[in-house]
Amino acid sequence: MYTYLIFEIFAWAAGVIAFIVFLEHLIQRKSVRIFLKRKWAWIPLAVMLISILIGVFSNKTYAPGFAMPLFMHSMAPGKVPPTLPFVNVFNFFRNETRFDRVADIGRDPNDVPSAITRTSPTEVKIDVHVKEVISEVAPGIYFNYWTFDGTVPGPMYRVREGDTVILSITNDISSLHHHNIDLHAVTGQGGGASLTNVMPGETKTIKWKAINQGLFIYHCAMPNVSTHNSHGQYGLILVEPKEGLPKVDKEFYIVQGELYTMGQLGKKGLTVFDSKALLDGLPNYVTFNGKIENTPRMQAKVGDKIRMYVGNGGVNLISSFHVIGEIFDTVYPEGGMGEGSSMLKNVQTTAVLPGGSTIVEFTVDVPGKFLLVDHALSRMNKGAWAVLEVTGDENPSLYSQVPNEYKINSTSTASSRQEIINEKTEYGVMQNMEGH
């Protein structure tokens, strides 16, 4: 984890020492000493030094939270402007031994709570554990994640409309920062954040009632809010309608997020948060469930009806969620449901806003590896993709390759083209039967 960082520090140190040695030898030269003894020789040096100081002063910037609401200024961590990140970097390395190393930061997309079968409201208890850890974004690339329950996203929670929720949040003693939780499903100041500010080692408990059905984001709202969210502090909570949701065969949990790191895309070793990139909205990594996927974790069979709970932890980018090779039979736009909500049919790509969600449903009709993407496709290069692996029988009448001898000539008549299509379909069916 530290190999590349050690090389980088060594290169900087060696360069500085070499420059100092060079200056020392330069000053030892007789001609240089004679020049420096002249009174007027110091005038341009003094002017240069004063100009540098004036230039630094005139370029003074505020800390990232200066434009936030006044009542949040006192809680905003860090007074160092984004153009001078090294003080924050030093503070991180001074304390990094406190953080646990997590082998796999990415929340398993199969980790969806079971559907609620009860028919009346009840009291639900939720325990949230906040912890700052170090884990891999991709092999050999490490980042300091801030998490709910040790993964990104945090757990998916599932309650029923009308339930009373008792939520306790504990900030691990190893944390460097204060944290809290804002659930968009909560009606009340800060969505719970104003009552759950916890310092390291502290626990607080709140009670709230789930009065609105839908799929909602939750996240840390401790100022600077965008900093906490872009370290991985977000997740989804589903408030099921009283009558429940239609039955499906498979449910998956996907949340898109952004990581802002110093250095270029793919820089190996331990990478440090870049507040300037955050303000500019230029993440090095855009991920599904916290890291770049290396092994497909979602499996289904031909004929399965799939439901995906999709969120966007933000903090800057709108996600254009799409599954390559499938059409969404049903979409719950922005995670809304219930009377007055619009369910969409036969949708190719759906928008998921920062701090928003959607639910998509579709049936897988053919086998294969289906890519989940943000269809702002350059983000695939930054990690915004995952794989749904579908097994089962082929369906050549729906999807198959055409043998060369059955290619249709563009000059053929409509009737002859239809005859060839019919013949091609029969050929595909026969081949499939022979294969079985």
Distance of CA 8 to the CA centre of its chain: 27
* Average pLDDT, integer, range 356-363: 98
Cα distances (angstroms) measured from residue 94 to each of 38, 98, 436:
46, 9, 64
Cis peptide before 224 (omega within 30 of 0): yes
The residue with tokens 């691990």 is: 172
Higher pLDDT: 385 or 433? It is 385
- Across 95-104, 358-367, 407-416, 426-435, least confident range: 426-435
Q: Kindly report the pTM of this predicted structure.
A: 0.81
pLDDT at 367 over 60: yes
- The residues pairing with 183 across neighbouring beta strands, listed in sequence order, are 218
pLDDT greater at residue 374 or residue 262:
374
C-alpha span between 384 and 62 (Å, rounded) = 32
- In the structure, what pLDDT confidence band is assigned to residue 53 with cuts at 50, 70 and 90? confident
Q: Indicate the DSSP class of residue 261.
A: B
- Of 56-70, 159-173, 399-413, the range with the highest mean pLDDT is 159-173
76: confidence class by pLDDT, cuts 50, 70, 90 = very low
Q: What is the DSSP string of 213-245?
A: -EEEEEE--SSSHHHHHTTT-EEEEEEE-TT--
Q: Do 287 and 232 touch, CB atoms closer than 8 A?
A: no
pLDDT at 384 > cutoff 90: yes
Distance (Å, whole) CA 31 – CA 28: 9
Phi, psi of 56 (to 5 degrees): -65, -45
Least confident of 45-49, 133-137, 223-227, 335-339: 45-49
Q: Which amino acid is at 40?
A: W
Query: What is the spatial order of strands in the sheet that 234-240 belongs to?
Result: 157-160, 234-240, 214-219, 182-183
* Residue with more model confidence, 13 or 360: 360
Q: How far apart are CA 375 and CA 384, in angstroms?
A: 9
pLDDT (0 to 100) of residue 355? 97
pLDDT at 148 over 90: yes
Handedness of CA 57, 63, 68, 74 (dihedral sign): negative
Q: Which tokens in the block code for residue 205? A: 């408990």
> With 70 as the cut, is the pLDDT of residue 69 above it?
no
The partner residues of 386 in beta bridges, in order of sequence, read 372
pLDDT, position 74: 45
Q: What is the pLDDT of residue 326?
A: 97
Q: Give me the helix-helix angle, 3-28 and 30-37, nearest 10°.
A: 70
- Cβ atoms of residues 291 and 105 within 8 Å: yes
| Residues 165-222: tens digit of each pLDDT | 999 999 999 999 999 999 999 999 999 999 999 999 999 999 999 999 999 999 999 9
More confident residue, 156 or 8: 156
The pLDDT, as a whole number, for residue 78 is 45
| Across 58-67, 115-124, 195-204, 281-290, least confident range | 58-67
Give residue 341's region: left, alpha or beta (phi > 0; psi -120 to 50): beta
How crowded is the C-beta side of 4, counted as CA atoms within 13 Å? 12
| Cβ atoms 143, 261 nearer than 8 A | yes
Residue type, 327: I
Tokens 């000059």 locate to 411
- Could you tell me if 241 and 271 are in contact, meaning their C-beta atoms sit under 8 angstroms apart? no
Residue-level pLDDT at 67: 61
- Which residues of 116-202 form beta strands (DSSP E)? 123-138, 141-148, 157-160, 164-171, 182-183
Collect all residues with Cβ–Cβ distance below 8 Å to 59 and sequence separation of at least 6: 83
Q: Which residue has the higher pLDDT, 63 or 152?
A: 152
Mean pLDDT for the chain overall: 87
Q: DSSP class of residue 366?
A: S
